[in-house]
Amino acid sequence: MMTFLELAKKRCSIRSFTKDPVDPALLSVILEAGRVAPTAANSQSQRILIVDEKEDLRQLSEIAQIYGAPLALVICADHNATWKRSFDGFDTGPIDTAVVMTHMMLACADVGLGAVWVDYFRPQRLKSMFNLPDSWFPYHVLAIGTPNVALKSPDRHATMRLPLDRTVFKAGAFRK
């Protein structure tokens, strides 16, 4: 049984996939991991499109690089459902969707599938492509499939991530 930290270190971005379709039972596990994710005030603003039809994948590939994945999830926030902070209107839609994405991406690694988080696309083009409701905004795409490359080493973070002392500080560190 993997600990959480083992899973977090094992997970890596996969950018090459076999043509094998994603097992529907595994997709259910991934979607369930997204369903239980925390969102601001439990608003559950995420709206997820399953893209697995050949023509839809082809069209999506023109908008976003999904590396030939047989399945992609488009994660939108419904801004009619997002939590807005009362005193300044701060809207947690992109945060809710990022938390849901993180849960689903880790679930992919847990069930042995590869995935990559993709934000490099023009949201309005994606919105038009799927004729999304006005209040929905597509923030992320998660490309999923069977890895066609070796997984990166779980030890890579020794060099691929900053040491903690570059990102974590005692609260008093900046006081005069």
Instruction: Provide the 10 A C-beta neighbour count for residue 91.
Output: 17
| Cβ pair 45, 96 in contact under 8 A | yes
HSE (CB half, 13 Å, CA atoms) of 168?
5
Between 80 and 153, CB nearer to ligand FMN = 153
Min dist. Cβ of residue 175 to ligand FMN (A): 32
Applying CB under 6 A, the span of 26-34, 51-59, 83-91, 117-125 interacting with ligand FMN comes to 117-125
Between 80 and 119, CB nearer to ligand FMN = 119
Burial readout 59-71 (b: 16 or more C-beta within 10 A, e: otherwise)? ebbebbbbbebbb
Min dist. Cβ of residue 93 to ligand FMN (A): 14
| Cβ pair 52, 70 in contact under 8 A | yes
Return the residue of 116, 132, 142, 144 that touches ligand FMN, per CB under 6 A.
116
Return the residue of 10, 91, 95, 117 that touches ligand FMN, per CB under 6 A.
117
Positions that interact with ligand FMN (CB under 6 A): 12-13, 15, 116-120, 152
